[in-house]
Every structure is written in C-alpha cells, then in structure tokens.
Amino acid sequence: MYSQLSISFDMVNISPTVQKVKSINLPNIRIKSDRFHLQNRRFLGNKYKLLGFIEEIVRTNCDHIGVFCDIFAGTGVVGERFNKKTNKVISNDLLASNYIPLITFLGTKRINYTTLEQKINYLNNLNPSDENYFSKHFGNTYFTLDNARKIGAIREKIDEISEDDDKYILITSLLYAVDKVANTVGHYDAYRKILDTTQTIRLLVPEVKIENNENNEIYQEDANLLIRKINCDVLYIDPPYNSRQYSDAYHLVENLVTWKKPQVYGKAKKMDRSHIKSVYCLKSATQAFADLISHANCRDILVSYNNTGESKHGRSNARINDKQIINILERRGKVKIFEREYKAFTAGKSKSNGHMERVFYCKVTKKRI
C-alpha cells in the first residue's frame, strides 16, 4: 500500500492557547464596500478559466446532479461553479490555507457584515513599529518590512478579537490581501530579487452567497481516506500532476494560517511540511490514484490531468501517464477524453510547449471495492 497522509482538525485549531478578548472598542465606521471573490487568488493549477469547459462536459454527460464532490479543491472555484446547480457541494483540501477559504466561501455559517467590516477596518488601521515573528522571517524578502510587520500584527490581533467562525473569515481576508502585496510570481517557492511590490496591504470583505451553501460539506483530509466515507453523484478529481508539492509552493501562507510560529530554514524560509506532503507528487501516485478510483461511490468521475508538455525539468513532468489513467478508470466504466489547449499559470520560467488541459470522463457502471 502507498503511504497515506492524513491531517486532523487540530491543524486549524489556530493558536488554541491565545486568550480571547470578548469585546474591543471597534471604530463605528463602515469601510468601503468593495469586496473580493473566491477566484481572486493566484494559485498553481487554478481552473477558473476552464470552468466553462468543465461545466459543458458535465452538462452533456451527467444526469441530474444532487451532490458534486471536488476532492482536491484548491481554491474551490470548480465546486463554487456547481454550487447553484446542485443540492450539495463537497469540497476537500489538505492545506489549511485552502481549507479556511473554502469554509468562508462555501461553508454554512452566516456572516454579520456590519461586525466584520468594523473588525477589518480596525485591522487595516493597525500601524505596528515593533518586529514580530512574521517580519523577522519574511520582511525585506517576500514583503516589504512595513507590510511584513503589519501582516504579523494583523495575524496576532485576529486571534485576539475573534472566535472560530469569525476568525476563519478574517484569516481568509488576510490571505487574499497578502497575495496582492507578495514579492513573488504567484507562489512562495522563492521571492523576486528586486523588492518592488511596495503598496500597503489592505484587507477587504469577502463576497459570500451563503444562500447556496446550506447543505455543503467542507473537509481537510487525505482524499484517499475521505473517499471511503462520502457518496456523491459527480466526483471531480484534480490532483497534483508532478513532483512539485503544493506544500512547498505555499508554505508561507500555510505558516501564516496555522500560526504556530515554527522554526524556518533555508533561503526560502520553509518550515517542516512532512505532514502535508501529497502522495500524488511521489512515485506512488499511480497506486494512490488507483486506490481512490476503486473506492469512489459515485455515478460519474471527471479527472483533470493535463500533459504539462515535456519539460527539461523532470520535476514538472506528469507522475501518471495517460495509459495508466485510462486503464484505472476503465475498471469502473467506459472512458471518454476531452481536451483543449490551455496556457497554464507558471512561475514565468517554463517554456514547455504542447500544453493541453484534459478531462478524462468515466460513466461508472462497475461496483467499487
């Protein structure tokens, strides 16, 4: 058997020893009403520009959809696309920095916008001068020193002024704001040598359509463990394609979300990420995928797995080849392949050609294990 990874809810039991402040003097001022949306985040493999392509495949091949499961949700854009069209969306991602925004945008808790805006206004007006964990490690590299100080101070204050549900929303607001001022090319494997992203960080309010979320379920689990516990009509699978771990690319925001202030090392200032490594980036990816498909309790399966072209960097090449994907899916039913050309989001150095976005579709007719 492949090595299974699991993550417990404790990972996002954020800073449990922090003393809660039951009330604070928030300014009774409404901030500007501009909002941010779930898709307003740069993320490797983001399917936002391919949603029409995916939806058309579902529309023409799948019968009535009661439950749609996005089991490697990432930013959650695919699940959100089907949120109005189904009775329930199940979203899952191993990283806390994805799980918390999923809770915010696709979860079932209603938002008190008046209180939220007051808290965001309060956080935006912080003006820290002292160094903190975040500024010491990430100032003058990933962020300007002023922004790093403010990010660290905001994260500390979030723990003080909010309870769990409210905290998730504020952390989501911080994550999206951080993305706008990061001195990177869209992920955190490295920072740019020239520190020219100097605008001041500013938190906004999320735009959430809670009326669509009533029955949704959000998880932060190993997909191969979760698949054994859930049922759905359509299972959408968008796993990592190559050996590049998402926990490496997004270590900094994962650190910011969990806020356990671990020791960091190396030029990129990464912490221990062994507990959030994906088996789909390892040589065992094919075996893991076969296990996932064999235990799926669903009617239709869609697998996004692009060919990524042939890269001179072996780490960028796909872990599972087309023949293996087809053979595994055919154990459950008939397979069709849909594809279209697509310019993927990269770090700006990759020049691989022949990039195609493919969706392998399987109409399930054979029983699971």
pLDDT tens digit at each of 369 positions of the chain: 433 333 333 345 444 334 344 445 555 444 455 899 999 998 988 899 999 999 999 999 999 999 999 999 999 999 999 999 999 999 999 999 999 999 999 999 989 999 999 999 999 999 999 999 999 999 999 999 999 999 999 999 999 999 777 999 999 999 999 999 999 988 999 999 999 999 999 999 999 989 999 999 999 999 999 999 999 999 999 999 889 899 999 999 999 999 999 999 999 999 999 999 999 999 999 999 999 999 999 999 999 997 654 544 455 578 999 999 999 999 999 999 999 876 655 545 555 455 678 999 999 999 887
Q: Is the dihedral of CA 105, 111, 113, 119 positive or negative?
A: negative
CATH assignment at residue 238: 3.40.50.150
Q: Which residues of 328-361 are buried (b: 16+ CB within 10 A; e: fewer)?
A: bbeebeebeebeeeeebbbeeeeebeebebbbbb
d(CA 269, CA 263): 9
Q: Is residue 2 part of a domain?
A: no
Question: How many C-beta neighbours within 10 Å does residue 190 have?
Answer: 15
The alpha-helical segments, DSSP class H, found in 125-210 are 133-138, 145-161, 164-181
Which two tokens mark 136? Answer: 């010491």
The answer to the question of residue 38 being in a domain is yes
Cβ–Cβ < 8 Å for 320, 240: no
The torsion angle over the Cα atoms of residues 11, 13, 16 and 22, rounded to 10 degrees, is 160
Residue 113 included in any domain: yes
pLDDT of residue 340: 87
pLDDT of amino acid 19: 38
Half-sphere exposure at residue 143, Cβ-oriented, CA atoms within 13 angstroms: 26
- Alpha-carbon torsion 21, 23, 26, 30, what sign? positive
In sequence order, which residues have a C-beta less than 8 Å from that of residue 12 and are 6 or more positions away? 96, 99, 100, 220, 257, 258
Domain count, the chain: 1
369 in a structural domain: no
Helix axes 96-106, 164-181, angle to 10 degrees: 110
Phi-psi region of 309 (alpha: psi -120 to 50; beta: other; left: phi over 0): left
Query: Is residue 116 assigned to a domain?
Result: yes
Cβ atoms 101, 120 nearer than 8 A: no
**Predicted pLDDT at 343:** 64
Residue 195 domain-assigned (yes or no): yes
Report if residue 1 sits inside a domain. Answer: no
Quote the domain boundaries for residue 142. 9-364
CB atoms within 10 A of CB 138: 25
Find the Cα–Cα–Cα–Cα dihedral 48, 249, 103, 84, rounded to 10°. 10
